[in-house]
Amino acid sequence: MEILPEKNGPWTIRSWKIIHDSQWLRLTEHGVTQPDGSEGQYGVIQFKNLAIGVLPLDEDGNTWLVGQHRFALNEYSWELPEGGGALDTTPLETAKRELREETGLSASDYHPLCFFFTSNSVTNERAYGFLAWGLQEGEASPEPSEELKLREIPFRELLEDVISGKITDGFTITMVLMAAEKARKGLLPEPAATILKAQID
Amino acid sequence: MEILPEKNGPWTIRSWKIIHDSQWLRLTEHGVTQPDGSEGQYGVIQFKNLAIGVLPLDEDGNTWLVGQHRFALNEYSWELPEGGGALDTTPLETAKRELREETGLSASDYHPLCFFFTSNSVTNERAYGFLAWGLQEGEASPEPSEELKLREIPFRELLEDVISGKITDGFTITMVLMAAEKARKGLLPEPAATILKAQID
């Protein structure tokens, strides 16, 4: 939506203005003619980063959670390694960097797990999740604005915490459930498939 | 975050200001002292509605998808019935209203399926999903700003579309995968459990 389009689906766009523009997001307001002919307004939050997440998996079926206080919620949250990636960097590159920064881990193999829009009523934020295996441990290097805890957890236990509602981060929930479902349906490469299947049966 | 708290996890809040305030959201910017002592800024998007979703299920294992053009994406999207609910209305009340408005369906039973934050790095949007059964058909009554299509689909087929990436709405993906996983683990009431199990085996 860099250039004002004349049409956006059933809406005719008459005008638009930038309300706020920062490093992270741009908020715009659009004057539109609605499907029934009446006039209306649409606010859109354009994200300037992709949401990138990784589900790292070791040979024993363990994965890693990152614990952090989420400013927007004023709540503590345990999540799979996630972070923002520049729009001109491939999701895979960002996934590798985020995994290394937040956990110190590097992985020999990455497999695309899911793609989705996190909240499409008002934002255009896109999320890309990866499954990663062939892990090697190293030194974590979190950003100065982050205060992270790290926890190793069997995938089986994490799946239980997702189902019970203990995990509240939507992206983590989606990656975990998608990994379980794809493992069941035989849609993941080896050795990840066998490792995960042992965790969900 | 109605009143400026002194602390938000590891951050000390020095100041804040409202940048944009509408019927739908409030964008605020917070001056903070970071964990390492340096000064920083946090932008937060507070949503003024809850995200409410429903997975309706009939006796034969069919559910319903709503098709609509999403303005924020400039893309067409097929999704389970979803909508915004006022913060002072219970998620269940909104779920009943949204299901009726978008599909014409009413349900005799509702079961809480999932709760999560859709995008917790910058927003505080909360999502509540329900499984609904005991369906009766009626007249849909979409809002004038909406141009909706309706499609009946077996749960089995929707689950395939979620796994293949054909469905891109995060909330729909989460509800479908959670329903499948909870059905497998025997965590849903009858008759929904038996109906769903027949769809996933």
Secondary structure, 3-state, A4-71: CCCEECCEEEEEEEEEEECCCEEEEEEEEECCCCCEEEEEEEEECEEEEEEEEECCCCEEEEEEEEEC
**What 8-state DSSP symbol labels residue A178?**
H
How far apart, in whole angstroms, are the C-alpha atoms of residue B61 and residue B20?
Answer: 44
A187 located within any domain? yes
Residue A201's pLDDT is 82
Beta strand pairing status for A149-154 and A7-8? unpaired
Q: What is the dihedral of CA A88, A93, A94, A100, to 10 degrees?
A: -160
Identify any residues that bridge with B199 across adjacent strands, giving them in sequence order.
none
Tell whether A32 and A107 lie within a shared domain: no
The residues, ordered by sequence, that sit 6+ positions from B38 with a Cβ below 8 Å of its Cβ are A144
Cβ–Cβ gap A20/B20 under 8 Å: yes
How far apart, in whole angstroms, are the C-alpha atoms of residue B22 and residue B25?
Answer: 5
Q: Which CATH number fits the domain that encloses residue A79?
A: 3.90.79.10
The residues, ordered by sequence, that sit 6+ positions from B190 with a Cβ below 8 Å of its Cβ are none
Q: Closest-CA residue in chain A for B67?
A: A9
Tell whether A84 and A30 lie within a shared domain: no
Sheet with A126-136: list strands edge to edge: A82-86, A49-57, A126-136, A106-117
B121 located within any domain? no
**What 8-state DSSP symbol labels residue A123?**
B
pLDDT in tens, B141-150: 877 667 889 9
Which alpha helices (DSSP H) does chain B contain, by range? Answer: 91-103, 155-164, 170-184, 192-200
How far apart, in whole angstroms, are the C-alpha atoms of residue A13 and residue A8?
Answer: 7
Tell whether B177 and B191 lie within a shared domain: yes
Residue B66 vs residues A9, B82, B117: alpha-carbon distances, Å: 15, 9, 22
Cβ–Cβ gap A43/B34 under 8 Å: no
Tell whether A135 and A71 lie within a shared domain: yes
> DSSP assignment of B75-125, as one string?
EEEEESSEEEEETTS-HHHHHHHHHHHHH--EEEEEEEEEEEES-TTTB--
**What 8-state DSSP symbol labels residue A80?**
S
Residue B4's pLDDT is 59
A60 in B contact zone (CB under 8 Å): no
How far apart, in whole angstroms, are the C-alpha atoms of residue A102 and residue A49?
Answer: 18
A121 located within any domain? no
For chain A, what is the domain count?
A: 2
Residue B84 vs residues A100, B49, B109: alpha-carbon distances, Å: 38, 5, 21
B2 located within any domain? no
B179 in A contact zone (CB under 8 Å): no
Tell whether A72 and A110 lie within a shared domain: yes
A163 in B contact zone (CB under 8 Å): yes
Residue B67 vs residues A38, A71, A145, B64: alpha-carbon distances, Å: 21, 34, 41, 10
A144 in B contact zone (CB under 8 Å): yes
Tell whether A68 and A18 lie within a shared domain: no
Q: Tell me the pTM.
A: 0.96
The whole-number average pLDDT for the span B158-175 is: 98
How far apart, in whole angstroms, are the C-alpha atoms of residue B18 and residue B29?
Answer: 7
Out of B9, B68, B71, name the one closest to residue A42 (CB): B71
Tell whether A84 and A28 lie within a shared domain: no
pLDDT in tens, chain A (201 residues): 445 568 888 899 999 999 999 989 999 999 999 888 899 898 999 999 999 999 999 999 999 999 999 999 999 999 999 999 999 999 999 999 999 999 999 999 999 999 999 999 999 999 999 999 999 999 888 776 678 899 999 999 999 999 999 999 999 999 999 999 999 999 999 999 999 999 998
A84 located within any domain? yes
Phi, psi of B3 (to 5 degrees): -105, 140
Chain B residues 14-53 with CB within 8 Å of chain A: 19-20, 22, 24-25, 27, 30, 32, 34-36, 38, 40, 42-45, 47, 51
Residues of chain B positioned with their CB less than 8 A from the CB of A166: none
Tell me which residue range forms the domain holding A22. Answer: 7-47
The residues, ordered by sequence, that sit 6+ positions from A1 with a Cβ below 8 Å of its Cβ are A28, A44, A46, A124, B74
* pLDDT at position B190 over 90: yes
Average pLDDT over chain B, rounded to an integer: 94
Residues of chain A positioned with their CB less than 8 A from the CB of B169: 116-117, 120
